[in-house]
Amino acid sequence: MPAKKKAAASGAVARYDKLIATNPSIERKGDANPYTSLNGNMFTLLHQSRLAIRLPEAERERFLKKYKTTLFEAYGAVMQEYVAVPDSLLENTKELQKYLDASYEYAKTLKPKPTKKKR
Per-residue pLDDT 10s for the chain (119 aa) are 444 444 456 799 999 999 999 999 999 999 888 999 999 999 999 999 999 999 999 999 999 999 999 999 999 999 999 999 999 999 999 999 999 999 999 999 999 988 776 65
In a domain, 99, yes or no: yes
CATH number at residue 91: 3.30.1460.30
When divided into structural domains, the chain yields a total of: 1
Does any domain span residue 118? no
Strand order across the 28-29 sheet: 28-29, 35-38, 41-47, 50-54, 77-85, 71-74
Q: Where does 1-119 show beta strands of DSSP type E? A: 28-29, 35-38, 41-47, 50-54, 71-74, 77-85
The model's pLDDT over 83-112, given as tens digits with 9 standing for 90+, comes to 999 999 999 999 999 999 999 999 999 999
Q: Is residue 47 part of a domain?
A: yes
